[in-house]
Amino acid sequence: MKQITTTAIIIVLYITISTVSLNSGDVSALGVNWGTMATHQLPPKTVVQMMKDNNVKKVKLFDADTNTMVALAGTGIEVMVAIPNDQLKAMGSYNRAKDWVRRNITRFNDDVKIKYVAVGNEPFLTAYNGSFINVTYPALFNIQKALNEAGVGDFIKATVPLNADVYNSPPDNPVPSAGSFRQDIFEEMKLIVNFLAHNKAPFTVNIYPFLSLYLSSDFPFDYAFFDGQNTVSDNGVIYTNVFDANFDTLLASLRALGHGDMTVIVGEVGWPTDGDKNANIPNAERFYTGLLPKLAGNRGTPMRPGYIQVYLFGFIDEDAKSIAPGNFERHWGIFKFDGQPKFPADLSGEGQKKILNGAQNVQYFQNQWCMLNPDAHTFSNNTNQLGDNVNYACTFSDCTALGYGSSCGNLDEVGNASYAFNMYFQVHDQKAEACDFEGLAMVTTRNISREQCNFPIQIGDPTSGHIDHKHRFGSITGAGLMSMLVLFMAL
């Protein structure tokens, strides 16, 4: 972050709550980004019921999974399906694009209320080093053409969810009104923006004030929220939060291309609850307590007062997401992995915070945990053995809560080892062989959670000891390095 008004840089992340009541003045049509990078997933029908129970009217997906689409059929929930980045190159073939539309759009169109197709997910992210720059526009062009040819292009639009790092303001004039698209992708952005305008499709951007804090120690803490405790002036226009400044930097960038009136959707915005010193429930509550009434009141931004369609990120935690951007990546949900709410929230934006409606009839494995065996070899003689086993456990499970400033960051060496062993044990369906670690571990029926640090029991059939796994871990190297650091600090 060079300047606080140039954009809240966003890495790769994911849920959405979309506020769409144009006339009612409240957040009456909520949507959520539904990510599925989890080792143990709630049944799709359970997740859809959670949406209905919480008056969620829109959902943004990261693929077009058949089971998900079937669960959404007949609900009336508006859907944005997605083409993952690794399929963009294939969509450069029009025949492949037509086939994708046939299999994922027209096949479900009578039963599922499909509104948008997300072509990629932040494909121009600087961290991707240009991998998708040359394949994104051809994929967008072919998908929209295929939608038009299928007779659905008038009401189903293709868009490209982009990271806010595609635009910025110059260092010598770091204000929103000076915004422009990055020079290294300027021609590609011009092609995409002109194409979206021609097809009356929206520009989709992901904005994360949290990441402004995460990426810059100099960033004013309160400017990430909506309390107005920090202000920035842009030629007399006062900005009280980085969300508004970021959004208006995009509007200035679009205006520079002759499309300052283009519809803009905020595809992702939210606050994580673990994995970093600023990722916690109090900060998440503060963020949503400011954001939701702002959206419900249709206050907009200085450059665009009024309604803004926004998707909050995210609906449910995903314990198998890559932690390359940071340990917080697995903790964006307003619901925990088991579909239970983390904190009170008022999704109507009317200031009446209440406990959200969680998943019903969730099954969990048995009430048992894996812990460091107190009768095992002493630490002094087995530091390397213990370290190797903790590292192994964290590489193949989720130890992100052990990081500095996180919910379990204050555990001692016994707690660190027990937490790591238990996470591995739960991810592997509480199988006996998953709680051994060369004789260092043992199973207990005593809840070994500590104060703010929860030792979870994973969801699954308590009688079967098995559950199908759709995803495994997205960043083994990152998890392993993090767990080694934790152990080193503890010992």
Catalytic residue among 78, 188, 268, 329: 268
Q: Which of 276, 311, 335 is the last residue of a domain?
A: 335
Other Cβ atoms closer than 10 A to 198:
9
Weakest-pLDDT range from 134-148, 239-253, 293-307: 293-307
- Which region, left, alpha or beta, applies to residue 258 given φ > 0 means left and ψ of -120 to 50 means alpha? left
d(CA 222, CA 228): 8
Is pLDDT at 465 greater than 80 in this prediction?
no
Quote the mean pLDDT of the chain.
Answer: 89
Tokens of 420: 């790591």
149 and 257 in one domain? yes
User: What is the pTM for the complete model shown?
Assistant: 0.89
Reduced to 3 states, what is the DSSP secondary structure of residue 488?
A: helix
pLDDT given for residue 377 in this prediction: 58
The per-residue b/e assignment along 413-432, b for 16 or more CB within 10 angstroms, e otherwise, is: bebbbbbbbbbbbbbbbbee
pLDDT given for residue 379 in this prediction: 52
- Domain presence at residue 317: yes
pLDDT given for residue 463 in this prediction: 77
- Please provide the DSSP assignment of 79-135 as one string: EEEEE-GGGTTGGGSHHHHHHHHIIIIITTTTTSEEEEEEESSSTT-GGGTTTTHHH
Strands (E) located in 257-372: 264-269, 309-312, 369-372
375 and 310 in one domain? no
pLDDT given for residue 382 in this prediction: 64
d(CA 159, CA 384): 51
Is pLDDT at 238 greater than 80 in this prediction?
yes
Reduced to 3 states, what is the DSSP secondary structure of residue 3?
A: coil
288 and 424 in one domain? no
Smallest Cα–Cα separation from 121: which of 236, 245, 204, 34?
Answer: 204
238 and 160 in one domain? yes
- Domain presence at residue 487: no
pLDDT given for residue 189 in this prediction: 98
pLDDT given for residue 376 in this prediction: 80
pLDDT in tens, 153-182: 999 999 999 999 999 999 999 999 999 999
Is pLDDT at 263 greater than 80 in this prediction?
yes
Tokens of 157: 């639009």
Cβ atoms of 31 and 59 closer than 8 Å = yes
**Where residue 12 falls among pLDDT bands split at 50, 70, 90?**
very low
Residue matched to tokens 């969730």? 362
Tokens of 457: 């029991």
**Where residue 20 falls among pLDDT bands split at 50, 70, 90?**
very low
d(CA 233, CA 101): 46
264 and 413 in one domain? no
384 and 317 in one domain? no
pLDDT given for residue 378 in this prediction: 60
pLDDT in tens, 44-78: 999 999 999 998 999 999 999 999 999 999 999 99
Domain that holds residue 157: 30-335
- Domain presence at residue 214: yes
Q: Which of 289, 309, 335 is the last residue of a domain?
A: 335
d(CA 134, CA 363): 46
- Domain presence at residue 352: no
Residues contacting residue 198 through CB under 8 Å, at least 6 positions apart: none
386 and 290 in one domain? no
pLDDT given for residue 384 in this prediction: 86
Is pLDDT at 8 greater than 60 in this prediction?
no
pLDDT in tens, 178-195: 999 999 999 999 999 999
Sign of the CA dihedral running 429, 431, 433, 437: positive
394 and 287 in one domain? no
pLDDT given for residue 14 in this prediction: 38
pLDDT given for residue 157 in this prediction: 98
Strands (E) located in 63-145: 78-83, 113-119
More confident of the two residues 108 and 21: 108
Is pLDDT at 118 greater than 70 in this prediction?
yes
Weakest-pLDDT range from 21-25, 79-83, 96-100, 470-474: 21-25
pLDDT given for residue 347 in this prediction: 85
385 and 321 in one domain? no
Cβ atoms of 13 and 268 closer than 8 Å = yes
Smallest Cα–Cα separation from 120: which of 82, 89, 147?
Answer: 82
- Domain presence at residue 469: no
Smallest Cα–Cα separation from 180: which of 195, 193, 198, 196?
Answer: 193
More confident of the two residues 454 and 20: 454
More confident of the two residues 363 and 18: 363
pLDDT given for residue 13 in this prediction: 34
pLDDT given for residue 473 in this prediction: 53
**Where residue 451 falls among pLDDT bands split at 50, 70, 90?**
confident
Is pLDDT at 98 greater than 90 in this prediction?
yes
Count of domains forming the chain: 2
Tokens of 207: 């904005």
122 is catalytic: yes
Tokens of 461: 């059939």
**Where residue 24 falls among pLDDT bands split at 50, 70, 90?**
very low
pLDDT given for residue 208 in this prediction: 97
393 and 264 in one domain? no
pLDDT given for residue 375 in this prediction: 86
- Please provide the DSSP assignment of 437-449 as one string: TTTTEEEESS---
- Please provide the DSSP assignment of 186-225 as one string: HHHHHHHHHHHHHTT--EEEE--HHHHHHH-TTS-GGGGS
More confident of the two residues 286 and 349: 286
308 and 182 in one domain? yes
185 and 50 in one domain? yes
Residues contacting residue 477 through CB under 8 Å, at least 6 positions apart: none
CATH of the domain at 167: 3.20.20.80
**Where residue 480 falls among pLDDT bands split at 50, 70, 90?**
very low
pLDDT in tens, 345-370: 988 877 788 899 999 999 999 999 99
Smallest Cα–Cα separation from 36: which of 246, 256, 314?
Answer: 314
Is pLDDT at 4 greater than 60 in this prediction?
no
- Domain presence at residue 172: yes
Say if residue 360 is exposed, middle or buried (CB neighbours under 10 Å; 0-12, 13-18, 19+).
exposed
Angle between helices 383-395 and 476-490 (to 10 degrees): 150
d(CA 4, CA 299): 21
350 is catalytic: no
- Domain presence at residue 186: yes
- What mean pLDDT do residues 214-239 have? 93
- Domain presence at residue 171: yes
Residue matched to tokens 């029991």? 457
User: How large is the C-alpha radius of gyration of the chain?
Assistant: 23
d(CA 487, CA 223): 34
Catalytic residue among 78, 122, 188, 318: 122
